[in-house]
Structure 1
Amino acid sequence: MDEQSLIQAALRGDVESFNTLVLAYQDMAYSVAYRVMGERDAAADAAQDAFISAFKKLDQFRGDQFKAWLMRIVTNACYDELRRRKRRPAASLDTLQDEAPQAELGLVDDAETPEQRLQRAELNQAIQDCLTGLPTDQRVVAVLADVEGYAYQEIADITNSSLGTVKSRLSRARTRLRDCLQGAQELLPAKYRLINEE
């Protein structure tokens, strides 16, 4: 995929070229939005809003890294939705019904037993619950660094923050995540459990 050619074609009004970019980045955009928002529907809405915004603002793209530029728009869409929710909280009917475990977020391994699959789903849910409990600025940097694997400088570009701020937020987020996950210690692989020395 020649990203720059697609961007140039999209700037000339070629919607198919922009759709190709959407297809290339939609899973990544959804993943970031899901980990920040903690809800599938909200993540899908944020990702969709981000792509619409990116299409409208494509003429503002200055030729640096498209992925970082797009992820900045995705995280901003998440921030906007979270701020909107604080102003007008609403109860969702979806939260009233029991949802299936989050196992469908990953590939199902046929070698897993049903018990292992359930434990993995419970661990995924525990991690998501701990992420959701973080302040938004810490959650965003934790998702970008530890889930998506972005470098510190890329995160600073995406969040429009200084490198020191990113490192500080990530350190605080990791500490809070570690403390939170101790409540689900039995779900963690043995090498990640803290052992109390008495």
Structure 2
Amino acid sequence: MNYMETRLAKLARNGDRRAFAELVELYKDKIYHLGYRMLGNRQEAEDIVQETFMRLYSNLHRYDENQKFSTWIFRIAANLCIDRLRKRKVTYSLDAEVNDGEGNDYYAMMSSDEDTPEKQVIVSETQRQIRKVIDNMPDKYKSIIVLRYLQDLSLQEISDVLDMPITTIKTRLHRGREYLRKKLEASGTRNYL
């Protein structure tokens, strides 16, 4: 996949609109999910997709072909999300976005063996609690938790995306998990992490 993306990036850099359209098609959903998971808002996630591809298009000449394309595009998107999070006021709450019609699928961090109504209520409430904690988590932990557990990136990929040493990633991941665990315990939610 990496070779194909590198080839598409080269073609797009040389003005091939079809190659750029293929890159958009390959990554638009992944970028949307990253934006939604980090920002918790559909409109902002859609904005992140557009901003990411605008930045990508105007900066294709800077793409280093020795670097994985996925790492580069995720770095652009993650940085845009982090910038938006920094600009938000501390009092801004995403609670109103919990029932936005998309459900809480992205925050389904636990598996369900049975689909009894009782189990569905517990799972739904747990997902709501996890989402609330992640939404209110300090940004330095939030971005790493989202990239690791919700985007399923490796520690090395997160290090590349956020341009941080892997030791810092490990430390923040550990502290982020602890933050999440403590907040979930304080709310009475069972620990499934």
Which whole-Å CA distance do the structure 1 matches of 2:89 and 2:170 have between them? Answer: 27
1:136 CA displacement: 0.7
Mapped to 1, the partners of 2:102 and 2:77 lie a distance apart of 25
Q: In structure 2, do the counterparts of structure 1 residues 120 and 45 end up closer, same or farther at CA, with 3 Å as the change threshold? A: farther
Q: Work out the CA distance in 1 between the residues paired with 2:176 and 2:107.
A: 24
Which stretches in structure 2 are left out of the alignment for 5+ residues? none
For residue 185 of structure 1, what is the aligned residue in structure 2? 189
Distance 1:171 1:104, change over 3 A: closer
Q: Does 1:171 align with 2:174?
A: yes
Counterpart of 2:61 in structure 1 is 59
CA contact (8 A) 1:156 1:166 kept: yes
- Does residue 1:31 correspond to 2:25, yes or no? no
Give the distance between the partners of 2:103 and 2:176, measured in 1 at CA.
22
Tell me the CA shift for residue 176 of structure 1.
0.5
> Partners of 1:81 and 1:62 in 2: how far apart?
26
Q: Which runs of 5+ in 1 are unaligned?
A: 194-198
TM-fit CA distance, 1:99: 4.0
Q: Which stretch of the first structure deviates more once superposed, 33-42 or 118-127?
A: 118-127
Q: Distance in 1 between matches of 2:121 and 2:49?
A: 28
Change (3 A) 1:4 1:43: same
Give the match for residue 131 of structure 1: 134
Name the counterpart of 1:102. 103
Matches within 5 A, 1:69-88: 69-86=72-89
**Aligned sequence identity (%):** 30
- Structure 2 CA distance for partners of 1:181 and 1:112, relative to 1, 3 Å: same
TM-score computed with the length of structure 2 as normaliser: 0.81
Offset from partner CA, 1:56-81 (integer Å, 9 cap, x none): 11111101101011110011111222
Instruction: Give the stretch that moved more between structures: 117-126 or 143-152.
Output: 117-126
Question: 2 CA distance for matches of 1:176 and 1:116?
Answer: 25
Q: What is the root-mean-square deviation in Å for CA atoms of aligned residues?
A: 3.1
Give, in angstroms, the shift of residue 184 of structure 1. 4.7
